Amino acid sequence: MITAVQKPYEEISEMVKGFKNLLILGCGSCVTVCMTGGEKEVEILASTLRLANKKNGVSMDIVEDTIERQCDREFFDDVKEKIDRADAVLSMACGVGVQFCSEVFEGKRILPALNTKFYGATEQQGTWSERCAGCGDCVLDKFGGVCPIARCSKSLLNGPCGGSQDGKCEVDTENIDCGWQLIYDRLKSLDLLSRLEENEPIKDWSTGRDGGPGKIVREDMVL
């Protein structure tokens, strides 16, 4: 899933300054799972802004809502009137949702309440960690299901650097596992250590970017 964290309140407060009618719009997918942009977080942020506005004598009408996804046009139908009435929309979606909302509602100020981080997995309640960098050319079959692009701090494809010690990365020896230690351990458990004798060619990054923003078109699904 896409993970995100809420921007500092001071940054959000400055961003919405001057607007009289504000819609805070949550997203019911990834950012709800990582507890940064769902219905509950919308309610908390709206309450915080209202209290601050009351204390500072600021007049601002704040409306709250949450839709299933902000990356699909159909889910905006239920909040179209609210968006039309608002001077600005404070989106609590990932960067994809913020941009898509801006495209659907041209001429409307769409503001980001979150900082998008990475594609992650839930390790335990309240802890998410990066697993995929969306590079566009998956090599997980060659490395025992451990991604060297996302899990190695230097995205090395042919073995570890000289900075790892005791299975930890020199970037943060307390909290970051060496990606290549993980790969070695996994391949060993699968009896596939001979795979490490093969040289992986330089990554063709054009498969992910291809000279611009990525796009996928399924001709069999296009109407």
What tens digit of pLDDT does each residue of 161-182 get? 999 999 999 999 998 999 999 9
Report CA-CA distances (Å) from 73 to 40, 114, 180, 222.
23, 20, 41, 15
Per-residue H/E/C for 101-169? HHHHCCCCEEEECEEEEEEEEEEECCEEEEEECCCCCCCHHHCCCCCHHHHCCCCCCCCCCCCCECCEC
Q: Note whether 73 and 89 are within 8 A (CB).
A: no
pLDDT of 216 = 63
Q: Given CA atoms 144, 150, 156, 159 in this order, what sign does their dihedral have?
A: negative
What is the per-residue pLDDT across 115-154, written as a single tens digit (0 to 9) for each? 999 999 988 888 889 999 888 888 999 999 999 999 999 9
Find residue 169's DSSP bridge partners: none
Q: What is the pTM of this model?
A: 0.85
Map out the domains of the chain as residue ranges: 2-117, 135-197
Q: How much of the chain exceeds pLDDT 70, in percent?
A: 94
Helix (H), strand (E) at residue 5:
strand 2-6
CATH class (in words) of the domain with range 2-117: alpha beta
pLDDT of 222 = 76
pLDDT of 208 = 56
User: What backbone torsions phi and psi does residue 176 show, to the nearest 5 degrees?
Assistant: -115, 120
Q: How distant is the alpha carbon of residue 79 from its chain centre?
A: 23
* Residues in the chain with pLDDT values less than 50: none
Q: Given CA atoms 36, 39, 42, 44 in this order, what sign does their dihedral have?
A: negative
